[in-house]
Amino acid sequence: LLALPKPLFFGLMGIVGCGIGWLLGEPLLITIRPSEQQISSGEATAVLVFNPEFNRRLEREGAKSGDIQISLMWNNINDLDLHCVDPQGEEIFFQHKRSRSGGELDVDMNVSSPLSNEPVENIYWSHGNAPSGRYIIGVHHYKNHGVSDPTHYKVALKVGEKVQEFSGQTSSGDSVTLVHEFTYDGETAGVISADGSI
């Protein structure tokens, strides 16, 4: 091989490198990417698109994703609750985990023991099932489990390919706090407002 002219030698090395990359990369892509069959059937799969800490907690709890995904995290054992009012006016939260529009609260933490200092909650609409219209996201401090307030939280939102993150704080006795409102047209989201209370 060393006797070959340099252009031919480097060309051969490039071909070998591409082959090795394909052999190693293809199985990895199959593992981390949802299949076309999963997407076309509307089956929800975990899509790690948020910041690393959100992703770690969502993956730990087996959270699902889809056209719309809303996640809440905080860092103590208090019980915070994620709320979302869908375009038909139906509210998804711990007492009503599934809406007729297809939204579902699939992760709800710190209701009772065991309590976590790294909780997360998650609401999602699977691929192809999120209705067009106005969505309202809220957070409620449902129960204090002995940790002083206010409790700081973060909410992550994925709408189609767009990802946003919001921060806030809440205390026991507060009403549901409005985090964000948006309209969804089947592909994109437009902001209506980003603060206030529901």
Please write the tens of the pLDDT for every residue from 130-153.
999 999 999 999 999 999 999 999
Q: Are 80 and 170 in contact (CB under 8 A)?
A: yes
DSSP tally for the chain: helices H, then strands E: 3, 10
Any idea how long the chain is? 198
Q: What residues form DSSP beta bridges with 117?
A: none
Q: Which residues contact 69 (CB under 8 A, 6 or more apart)?
A: 47, 63, 122, 123, 124, 125, 156, 157, 158
Q: What is the pLDDT of residue 190?
A: 54
For residue 194, pLDDT beyond 60: no
Which residue intervals of the chain are DSSP H helices?
6-32, 36-40, 52-61
Mean pLDDT of the chain: 83
The mean per-residue pLDDT over the stretch 168-184 comes to 95
- As a whole number of angstroms, the distance between CA 4 and CA 14 comes to 14
Task: Give the pLDDT band of residue 28 (cuts 50, 70, 90).
Answer: low
Give the whole-number percent of the chain exceeding pLDDT 70: 78
For residue 35, pLDDT beyond 50: no
Q: Which residues contact 164 (CB under 8 A, 6 or more apart)?
A: 156, 157, 180
The closest of 151, 173, 84, 67 to 121, measured between CA atoms, is: 84
The DSSP code for 167 is E
Task: Give the pLDDT band of residue 185 (cuts 50, 70, 90).
Answer: confident
The DSSP code for 46 is -
Q: How many CB atoms lie within 10 A of CB 198?
A: 16
Task: Give the pLDDT band of residue 34 (cuts 50, 70, 90).
Answer: very low
Q: Which residues contact 52 (CB under 8 A, 6 or more apart)?
A: none
For residue 43, pLDDT beyond 70: no
pTM of the model: 0.73
For residue 91, pLDDT beyond 50: yes
Q: What is the pLDDT of residue 32?
A: 46
